[in-house]
């Protein structure tokens, strides 16, 4: 007998996650999806469900944004994001995901706080502001462990762009590279299998639709409105991460 609740919950989560993968929401919708799936099926299965669909989303989002990405930023971030993935592979079975959730959320909130209260000249002197080493490594690491690498990646890219087209395209391709580098380690750690990929690809049409919907939503927003929404979602997502981490300690 089919478990209709399972297909409903996963479908909704995949839709929200894929909208976020289009660059909309600053990773907030993705975090909601991971949280709901983790509560219902456990964090490891949540990672497994979303992993093959991440690749589908990346392919679609990459196609839609192929004219605007900043290759220089993407390749300069890669050594650090890849380092984060390696750290995630080595530490996945030992880390306290609740404590890490609090740390990620707190760092992102602190950045947004400084970004709004300080002038740009003062902000440049704040430690870790615009640091590829810190935000890139954190993005790779948290993407591996929680599929939440978009939050630190958004935080870094906010320091680099004022136009949403370049911001979104660079975000999409940067996260795609991280996701590709996660595949082999996931098989190594028995998080993912070929059978699981075949099962979860059933939801791929929803993932494609979600990316297209998110892309359309991005086009309807001005640059100012877009970045305001991104910042709001980062605050909401960061607060949720801190709360979930505190409850899980």
Number of domains the chain is built from:
1
Tell me the two tokens of residue 133: 């080493």
- Residues ≥6 apart with Cβ < 8 Å to 224: none
**Nearest C-alpha neighbor of 108 from the set 234, 230, 24:** 234
**pLDDT value at residue 128:** 67
* C-alpha span between 213 and 178 (Å, rounded): 23
**pLDDT value at residue 164:** 82
Instruction: Report whether 43 contacts 145 (CB < 8 A).
Output: no
For 163-228, give the DSSP string.
SHHHHHHHHHHHHHHHHHHHHHHHHHTTS--HHHHHHHGGGHHHHHHHHHHHHHHHHTS-HHHHHH
Instruction: Report whether 151 contacts 32 (CB < 8 A).
Output: no
> pLDDT tens string for the chain (249 positions)?
567 889 999 999 899 889 888 876 656 677 778 777 877 887 788 889 999 999 999 999 999 988 888 899 999 999 999 999 999 999 988 877 777 778 777 777 776 776 665 555 555 555 566 788 999 999 999 899 878 788 788 878 878 877 888 888 899 999 999 999 999 999 999 999 999 999 999 999 999 999 999 888 888 878 777 777 777 777 777 787 788 778 877
pTM for the whole structure: 0.80
**pLDDT value at residue 176:** 93
**pLDDT value at residue 114:** 65
**pLDDT value at residue 152:** 83
Strand, coil or helix: 126? coil
Instruction: Report whether 24 contacts 220 (CB < 8 A).
Output: no
Instruction: Report whether 76 contacts 137 (CB < 8 A).
Output: no
**pLDDT value at residue 148:** 79
Strand, coil or helix: 149? coil
Full residue range of the structural domain in which residue 103 is found: 4-248
């Amino acid at each position: 007998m089919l478990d209709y609740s399972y297909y409903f919950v996963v479908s909704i989560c995949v839709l929200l996650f894929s909208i976020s993968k289009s660059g909309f929401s600053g990773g907030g919708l993705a975090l909601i999806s991971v949280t709901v799936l983790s509560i219902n099926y456990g964090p490891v299965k949540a990672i497994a469900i979303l992993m093959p669909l991440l690749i589908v989303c990346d392919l679609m989002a990459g196609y839609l944004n192929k004219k605007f990405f900043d290759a220089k930023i993407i390749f300069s971030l890669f050594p650090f994001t890849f380092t984060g993935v390696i750290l995630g592979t080595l530490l996945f079975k030992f880390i306290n995901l609740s404590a890490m959730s609090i740390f990620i959320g707190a760092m992102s909130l602190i950045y947004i706080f400084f970004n709004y209260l300080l002038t740009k000249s003062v902000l440049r002197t704040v430690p870790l502001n615009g640091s590829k080493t810190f935000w890139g490594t954190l993005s790779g690491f948290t993407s591996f462990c929680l599929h939440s690498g978009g939050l630190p990646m958004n935080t870094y890219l906010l320091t680099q762009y004022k136009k949403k087209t370049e911001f979104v395209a660079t975000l999409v391709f940067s996260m795609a590279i991280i996701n590709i580098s996660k595949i082999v380690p996931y098989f190594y750690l028995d998080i993912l299998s070929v059978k699981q990929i075949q099962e979860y690809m059933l939801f791929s049409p929803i993932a494609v639709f979600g990316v297209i919907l998110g892309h359309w939503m991005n086009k309807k927003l001005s640059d100012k409105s877009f970045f305001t929404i991104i910042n709001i979602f980062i605050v909401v997502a960061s607060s949720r991460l801190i709360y979930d981490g505190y409850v899980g300690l």
